[in-house]
Amino acid sequence: MRVANRRAENSKWRQTRLQASKHAGQSWRAQGKSAGQAVLVAAAFLVSACSQQPETAPTFHADDNPERLSDWGMIAATDGALKLSDGVTPYDLATPLFSDYALKLRTVWTPDGKPAIYNADEAFDFPVGTVITKTFYYPTPENAWTGDVQQGQERGIHDRRMALDHLRLIETRVLVRREAGWDALPYVWNEDQSDAVLKRTGAVIPMTLTRDNGEMEPFAYLVPNANQCAGCHATNATTKAIQPIGPKARHLNKPSSFMEGFNQLDHWLAKGLLTFSSENSPLLRDARPLHPEEAPAGPAESRPGDAVSKDEGRAPQDEENFQFPRNADWSDETAPLAARARAYLDANCSHCHNPNGPADTSGLDLEPGASGPAMGHCKAPIAAGRGTGGRPYDIVPGRPDLSITVFRMETTDPGAMMPELGRAVTHEEGVKLVREWIAAMEGVCS
């Protein structure tokens, strides 16, 4: 397996994989999933995990919704740090959802180390008992809580601990995979930051954001209620089943922030947190490029701009051509503008704006494969109401100021803004990216 290759960037995998397999003298097929090196690496993870004495043990609550976050045993605030329990894996996403500049610590734990099953497009299929947490926190100017929060960078994890000085923990959302499906539970951190308490009706927390440029902006931070969790996580409006959104291949396919030199998917594979089923072996997976701009040239690939249906794209591949799907890092200025913008819209919009999502009523699809009017190009609104901002189309090429998409990202009016929930301030940097992307588009709407 490609764990041998320490190149974490997927975009280079094709070349490096070739080299690696030449060196190893083995093919992907022959190597399988239990490559010796993977085992070694996995063992190294275990050793490092075991060197810490866990203070709490992860616990799957099959039926009850415990009152306290600590009852799940995934993370605990102790000794001025947020501590990850044994077996709990932190992860992050190439391009995350914007949540009023809150920083996020994501963790996943599966019972008995069972793996999730890989899926090229959807969230991985996690085993019953899986617990995913997402903790929202802000840098603060003072250690004492004043409601003042700042823009900042996510804090690193060292020795399985995240230091809490000059940080305020706001809430931790728990997604738990039970027998009947996923449940979503919001926990709000208490005043002394010792634990978080289940708050199914959500909360509103007044804050004042200081942006990097020094501008201050009061806003009301919203902790969603348990039904509102479904507003985003029921990504299929017909089944209404709650699903994780972040743990998809295209979001996780990035250099690991927690295991230097490794791709995050490799990390998961090596840990045994992820595996392939016989049906979705990468050798058979969808060859569809995620973004037309990213499509490498070659006979096996589609032409840029082609919308390739999943069936058409699902041609057997050999090892050399295999790529995991990958979204760009929206903030990576070396990546193509369109790839960054589409990654941003995917992460922030496609949980509703997908062909079966709650926003399928609008006809707007912001998943990576969508194109043309379906993804907003010269697309008239359906039921946007005053969410149009008086503009004619979702995207008017070259004219961000005429594009509804930009208006809905800029406004903070609850009746007009997008996303509908989870944002109270404008993501200036995200807006700038989408503006630049639209400004660079050619063509006109008739």
Partner 1 sequence: MNLNHMRKPAFACAALMLIAACGEKQEAAAPADASYQETLMGQLLDAEPGDVIEIPEGRFAFDRSLSLTVDGVTIKGAGMDKSVLTFAGQIAGAEGLLVTASDFTIEDLAIEDTKGDALKISEGENIIIRRVRTEWTGEPKTENGAYGIYPVQVKNLLMEESVAIGASDAGLYIGQSQNVVIRNNRAEYNVAGIEIENTFDADVYGNVATNNTGGILVFNMPNLKQPGARTRVFDNEIYENNTKNFGLEGTAVASVPAGSGVVVTSNDNVEIFNNDIRDNKTSNVIVASVFSSGLATEGMEDDFDPYPEGIYVYDNAFDGGGDNPDGLDLQALKVAVAGPLGRLPDVLWDGYVDPALGGPGDVLCVQNGEARVLNVDSPNDNKSPRIADDGVHDCAFEKLPAVELTGPLAGL
Q: Are 1 and 266 in contact (CB under 8 A)?
A: yes
- Whether the link from the prior residue into 419 is cis, omega within 30° of 0, is yes
Handedness of CA 431, 433, 439, 443 (dihedral sign): negative
Rounded distance between C-alpha atoms, residue 234 and residue 227, angstroms: 10
At its nearest, how many Å lie between partner 1 and the CB of residue 420?
A: 4
Q: Reduced to 3 states, what is the DSSP secondary structure of residue 21?
A: helix
* Nearer of residues 285 and 391 to partner 1, judged by Cβ: 391
Residue 271 CB contacts under 8 Å (≥ 6 apart), including other chains: 42, 45, 89
At its nearest, how many Å lie between partner 1 and the CB of residue 98?
A: 15
At its nearest, how many Å lie between partner 1 and the CB of residue 186?
A: 11
At its nearest, how many Å lie between partner 1 and the CB of residue 364?
A: 9
At its nearest, how many Å lie between partner 1 and the CB of residue 363?
A: 5
* Nearer of residues 338 and 374 to partner 1, judged by Cβ: 374
Q: Are strands 274-275 and 216-223 parallel, antiparallel or unpaired?
A: unpaired
* Nearer of residues 100 and 266 to partner 1, judged by Cβ: 100
At its nearest, how many Å lie between partner 1 and the CB of residue 222?
A: 5
Q: Taking the CA atoms of the chain, what radius of gyration do you get in angstroms?
A: 22
Angle between helices 36-50 and 264-271 (to 10 degrees): 80
* Nearer of residues 224 and 247 to partner 1, judged by Cβ: 224
Rounded distance between C-alpha atoms, residue 347 and residue 197, angstroms: 28
* Nearer of residues 95 and 403 to partner 1, judged by Cβ: 403
* Nearer of residues 14 and 199 to partner 1, judged by Cβ: 199
Q: What's the order of all strands across the beta sheet hosting 131-139?
A: 89-91, 103-109, 131-139, 167-178, 181-189, 196-198
* Nearer of residues 115 and 358 to partner 1, judged by Cβ: 358
- The residue length of the chain stands at 446
* Nearer of residues 118 and 407 to partner 1, judged by Cβ: 407
Q: Are strands 181-189 and 196-198 parallel, antiparallel or unpaired?
A: antiparallel
Q: Reduced to 3 states, what is the DSSP secondary structure of residue 63?
A: coil
* Nearer of residues 246 and 381 to partner 1, judged by Cβ: 381
- Whether the link from the prior residue into 289 is cis, omega within 30° of 0, is no
At its nearest, how many Å lie between partner 1 and the CB of residue 110?
A: 26
* Nearer of residues 68 and 240 to partner 1, judged by Cβ: 240
Angle between helices 428-439 and 337-349 (to 10 degrees): 130
At its nearest, how many Å lie between partner 1 and the CB of residue 73?
A: 25
* Nearer of residues 116 and 185 to partner 1, judged by Cβ: 185
Q: Tell me the three-class secondary structure of 335-351, residue by residue.
A: CCHHHHHHHHHHHHHCC
DSSP conformation letters of 187-212? EEE-TTSS-EEE-TT-EEEEEEEE-T
At its nearest, how many Å lie between partner 1 and the CB of residue 339?
A: 23
Q: Are 174 and 184 in contact (CB under 8 A)?
A: yes
List Cβ<8 Å contacts ≥24 apart for 213-220: 217/425, 219/100, 219/412, 219/424, 219/425, 220/424
At its nearest, how many Å lie between partner 1 and the CB of residue 13?
A: 36
At its nearest, how many Å lie between partner 1 and the CB of residue 203?
A: 9
Residues that bind partner 1 (CB under 8 A): 200-202, 204, 220, 222, 225-228, 230-231, 234, 237-238, 240, 358, 360-361, 363, 372-374, 377-393, 404, 413-417, 420-421, 424, 445-446
